[in-house]
Amino acid sequence: MPEFNAPLRDMRFVLHEVFEAPALWARLPALAGQVDADTADAILEEAAKVTGQLLAPLNRSGDEEGAQWEAGNVSTPRGFKSAYDTYIQGGWVGLSGNPEFGGLGMPKMLAVQFEEMLYAANSSFALYSALTSGACLAIDAHASEALKNTFLPPMYEGRWAGSMCLTEAHSGTDLGLIRTRAEPRADGSFSISGSKMFITGGEQDLTENIIHLVLAKLPDAPAGPRGISLFLVPKIQVNADGSLGASNAVSCGSIEHKMGIKASATCVMNFDGACGWLIGEPNKGLAAMFTMMNYERLSIGIQGIGSAETSYQNARTYARERLQSRAPTGAVAIDKVADPIIVHPDVRRMLLSMKAMTEGGRAFASFVGQQLDLAKFSTDAHEQQTASELVALLTPVAKAFFTDTGFDSCVLGQQVFGGHGYIREWGQEQWVRDVRIAQIYEGTNGIQALDLLGRKVIANRGVALRLFTSQIRAFAAEPGKPYAGELLNAVQRLEDVSDWLQGQARLNPNEIGAASVEYLHLFGYVAYAWLWARMADVAQDSLNADPDFYRAKLATAQFYFSRLLPRTLSLEQSIRAGSESLYGLETASF
Amino acid sequence: MPEFNAPLRDMRFVLHEVFEAPALWARLPALAGQVDADTADAILEEAAKVTGQLLAPLNRSGDEEGAQWEAGNVSTPRGFKSAYDTYIQGGWVGLSGNPEFGGLGMPKMLAVQFEEMLYAANSSFALYSALTSGACLAIDAHASEALKNTFLPPMYEGRWAGSMCLTEAHSGTDLGLIRTRAEPRADGSFSISGSKMFITGGEQDLTENIIHLVLAKLPDAPAGPRGISLFLVPKIQVNADGSLGASNAVSCGSIEHKMGIKASATCVMNFDGACGWLIGEPNKGLAAMFTMMNYERLSIGIQGIGSAETSYQNARTYARERLQSRAPTGAVAIDKVADPIIVHPDVRRMLLSMKAMTEGGRAFASFVGQQLDLAKFSTDAHEQQTASELVALLTPVAKAFFTDTGFDSCVLGQQVFGGHGYIREWGQEQWVRDVRIAQIYEGTNGIQALDLLGRKVIANRGVALRLFTSQIRAFAAEPGKPYAGELLNAVQRLEDVSDWLQGQARLNPNEIGAASVEYLHLFGYVAYAWLWARMADVAQDSLNADPDFYRAKLATAQFYFSRLLPRTLSLEQSIRAGSESLYGLETASF
């Protein structure tokens, strides 16, 4: 039976030691006095209990039972409702929410650690609350005071949930094609009609109400993405005093049968003249929805890290216990019939690959969290602006690189088990099935890569990129930093490739999409190199304080630089091959 | 609903044009007069019908229903029994079997194309017959005339099936640990006792009898792998006249619940003093079993290619039909609301990656098939010997590289569908789940890599490797060959890395396992480069005969060389990093 124990020591290492979060919190007025190292540790310890003891034990039974649909109602698997009730009592849904409406106002740097635990314990369960937290963010940023006052408090509480209604059968990536309509009514509300699909948590039995954020078109809307508006559509209408009123014309037509995250209800949602309320400006709905989408993109990225962490923990345990063959250099467990498989170099390679990528991802997520906190709380306009630009640049990398490499890690974590990894009994195969969706939903990783290269690098003329790489260069230029040479080579490679692509894109627009996925991976490996160098730097300085712990960080950094970073070589060469070979084949000849 | 249409034109291209199989058959006495181009084409067309029309339609229902166990009996999903009866009437189980005992004696080069279709249509179904074909091979090579006469004819017919009983709960890779015992009886038979697990087709309702090939230890056996013997243990005992006798003491204790290949019964098999017959010499069972295992390794490799082929076919169809967004260079389908997604460079990258790897794999499998035919049928001792050495070298590459890259292809084929790839409806997710096992069973891909590098390259001092690379060098040295320069660079890289590893392994035995998986991938990419150059060479020469077809081959070769072969750069650098970084981390610190 798989277990999950939150990697608290590693999280504190990243939070307190690598990023010195408590010092940052102390200098930001909105956070000073609200959170310090002790508060943060107490929250993380509580989060470890909730996720490890309450949610992880429901992960496998949730997969086996799945969410069930009957006559428009969805029931979550046994134990989910009771666990959810306990869970929301902890205030977790509003952990980093706006305190004005009942959120706890905690920094995102802390929330990303919590989200990792949540996905690591039970990804299906995590989604129900991740959608609510993201919907709150969009409501808080774009809705009227009246809507905020009515909807945010019960949502932060977790009594009401949120959903994100974008996709329609014929309109996924291309949201300009949506057909859902919004007709204005005399009372200022709108009548919403249309059908949405792939709606996570569109219906469930956990909460009293579900607040759908729905993209729809007004009667006079321009065609395409510039004609999309955002509406708040409650499952049950809400009276002026906040109490629940009549049912809204919203129904769940069916749920999907999927490869994984089976305990998460993925719904077809029908809106038949449902009452909705405009959020933000007419025809500016996509921008407002992006507030939620950017939140979810980072969150789904973290699903990749959390899944890989649990798969790693189980693979490590198995590799220490499973006896099979002798070490190449001679027997280690002489009193046993064979050695534990962790002695074998290839098993170590698999485990170290998982470990290096998961810990690198955790550091990267924490860095993005730090920038989100600076963008939200900094009182220095320049710092605030820089942080916002970095968040925009790094969000697609976090979403896609965490999940591509998180999937690879879960596949490795299954491979360590041999045949035992393929059967349900040990749970490793579930992580592969569950995490696979993270490369697809919330904007496929191909779309993330286009966003990164096309919009955030090339359309931005490399300005944000230089903000990022200059931080890496500044670190490497300090005296005595580990891996400074390797890091400078890596960042030079990224900058050179970026500049080259800037030129290529002018000649042929296909060059962006031809390079984008490999470019995002190149970017990710270079970013992780920086983070591993930073972690090694701290570990070196602290070595005597906890030799085993810090030596492990140094060894993992060494592995990352010598065995994983070389992947950038191939990525560069494939990118520089350009788009030509993608168009040599006629469409009919595929 | 996914479909499978056998790629007959591509198979004929490889068979007739690239490898000129009919000319080879004509000069081998055992095949001349038995098979020519027309016979081969007729067989392939019939195979396409059987697999596409009879077996592919049972693929999804088989997954949904799964094999079921009840009170020791296993039932296959609805339709399997009737399909199996039709299937064996075609003689497919004995397609390349020994004609002396009822096999059809067809060349392996033809059989590999058939096997690809079988796995591409329905991998679970394929396994029931793949195990039988492999068991026949071991019986034919190592059993007594009496056993051959009794067992081979009904097995080639498919009336009786075969199984391969190696693994025990505590003994997977490390077969020296098996505990199953064989006690000699007065009548020359043996009493077999023990429990085996992960036995594919150990029990089913398709055949009258199941012939288990079981590894067990004789009372006086030496410890470890040199004390293993091989036994033939029928589910139902067989009378002297070949008729079925009493039940044997063999029972199926349970079947596994797995990630995929759910219609294939994966059994716990209990032998409680079952009557068995020794195959080959006492204590030489592992070598005899390897006759079957090598057959299955190539076969399972081909599962990787077949799965990727079907996933590709469906992704291609979807990419031509799904309308979403406009081409970067401007609208293509002006009369539609959006362009088919096949216009987007990243979708083309995914499809071309699948296509290049699947067709490269098909050519590689055909080359191995050719060498197997030469090893079996050649009358030239030198040619025969060379072919045997190449088969030994290339079998682990085929098994692991086809399945690692086949898995990647199925993941890409799922990604092309976006969210629709994750739900059951379109079938793409099943291919990912089904093919995943191919990287694990039949010797994990890590074990294949150790076999390749440790045994077939280093212990062999590179002799077989040079036999292979000298063929590549000879091709590239001929005037006017396409990609000659790239190919020479690639083969030089493989040879240099091999020589370097030869030296490293002398210094530290861990170096083999530290490099092995990446080495196998390096080997695979270099081998595919040769095969793509050969295919491009033929395509260039034939261009006018069928311009669309051959241009597609040239374009895919170009894609392979410019976008995929560069992966060898990173692989080399990771390999040369050596084992040191794998052992910097203490076991307790993982």
Phi, psi of A83 (to 5 degrees): -65, -40
* pLDDT tens-digit map of B271-313: 999 999 999 999 999 999 999 999 999 999 999 999 999 999 9
Q: Is A359 an active-site residue?
A: no
pLDDT above 60: residue B1: no
What residues of chain A lie within 8 A of the CB of B418, using their CB?
172-173, 440, 444
Mutation target for A interface from B563, B565, B576: give the one with most A CBs within 10 A: B563
Q: Are B197 and B268 in contact (CB under 8 A)?
A: yes
* pLDDT tens-digit map of B221-257: 999 999 999 999 999 999 999 999 999 999 999 999 9
What residues of chain B lie within 8 A of the CB of A440, using their CB?
414-415, 418-419, 421-422
Q: Are B480 and B455 in contact (CB under 8 A)?
A: no
SS3 B334: coil
How close is the nearest chain A Cα to the Cα of B440, in Å? 6
* pLDDT tens-digit map of B34-50: 999 999 999 999 999 99
Averaged confidence pLDDT in chain B:
97
Q: Are B63 and B425 in contact (CB under 8 A)?
A: no
> Least CB-CB distance to B585: which of A552, A563, A578?
A552
Give the E-state strand segments of B235-327 in sequence order. Answer: 236-238, 244-247, 250-255, 266-279
Per the CB < 8 Å rule, is B580 touching A562?
yes
> Least CB-CB distance to A585: which of B552, B563, B566?
B552
What residues of chain A lie within 8 A of the CB of B323, using their CB?
170, 174
Print pLDDT tens along chain A (590 aa). Answer: 568 999 999 999 999 999 999 999 999 999 999 999 999 999 999 999 999 999 999 999 999 999 999 999 999 999 999 999 999 999 999 999 999 999 999 999 999 999 999 999 999 999 999 999 999 999 999 999 999 999 999 999 999 999 999 999 999 999 999 999 999 999 999 999 999 999 999 999 999 999 999 999 999 999 999 999 999 999 999 999 999 999 999 999 999 999 999 999 999 999 999 999 999 999 999 999 999 999 999 999 999 999 999 999 999 999 999 999 999 999 999 999 999 999 999 999 999 999 999 999 999 999 999 999 999 999 999 999 999 999 999 999 999 999 999 999 999 999 999 999 999 999 999 999 999 999 999 999 999 999 999 999 999 999 999 999 999 999 999 999 999 999 999 999 999 999 999 999 999 999 999 999 999 999 999 999 999 999 999 999 999 999 999 999 999 999 999 999 999 999 999 999 999 999 999 999 99
Per the CB < 8 Å rule, is B566 touching A573?
yes
What residues of chain A lie within 8 A of the CB of B568, using their CB?
570
> Least CB-CB distance to B582: which of A258, A352, A564?
A352
Chain A residue whose CA is closest to B557: A581
Mutation target for A interface from B348, B447, B508: give the one with most A CBs within 10 A: B348
Alpha helices of B90-189 — where are they, by DSSP H? 108-121, 123-142, 145-157
Per the CB < 8 Å rule, is B259 touching A432?
yes
pLDDT above 60: residue B110: yes
- CA–CA separation, B144 and B147 (whole Å): 5
Confidence of residue B81 (pLDDT cuts 50, 70, 90): very high
What's the pLDDT at A53? 97
What residues of chain A lie within 8 A of the CB of B171, using their CB?
324
- CA–CA separation, A16 and A39 (whole Å): 12
Per the CB < 8 Å rule, is A198 touching B574?
no
Chain B residue whose CA is closest to A314: B590
**Helix A428-436 to helix A123-142 angle, to the nearest 10 degrees?**
30
| DSSP per-residue codes, A356-420 | HHHHHHHHHHHHHHHHHHHHHH-S-HHHHHHHHHHHHHHHHHHHHHHHHHHHHHHHHHHHTTGGG
Per the CB < 8 Å rule, is A342 touching B590?
yes
Sign, CA torsion A579/A572/A464/A450: positive
What residues of chain A lie within 8 A of the CB of B512, using their CB?
328, 345
Q: Are B473 and B533 in contact (CB under 8 A)?
A: no
pLDDT above 70: residue B2: no
Chain B residue whose CA is closest to A447: B346
The ipTM of this complex is 0.98
- CA–CA separation, A402 and B162 (whole Å): 44
Chain B residue whose CA is closest to A514: B345
Please pick, among A157, A168, A442, A511, the residue that the annotation labels catalytic. A442
How close is the nearest chain A Cα to the Cα of B169, in Å? 10
Per the CB < 8 Å rule, is B444 touching A570?
no
Task: For tokens 């039932």, name the residue.
Answer: B75
Please pick, among B309, B442, B511, B572, the residue that the annotation labels catalytic. B442
Chain B residue whose CA is closest to A255: B423
pLDDT above 90: residue B526: yes
> Least CB-CB distance to B324: which of A174, A320, A581?
A174
What residues of chain A lie within 8 A of the CB of B437, using their CB?
422
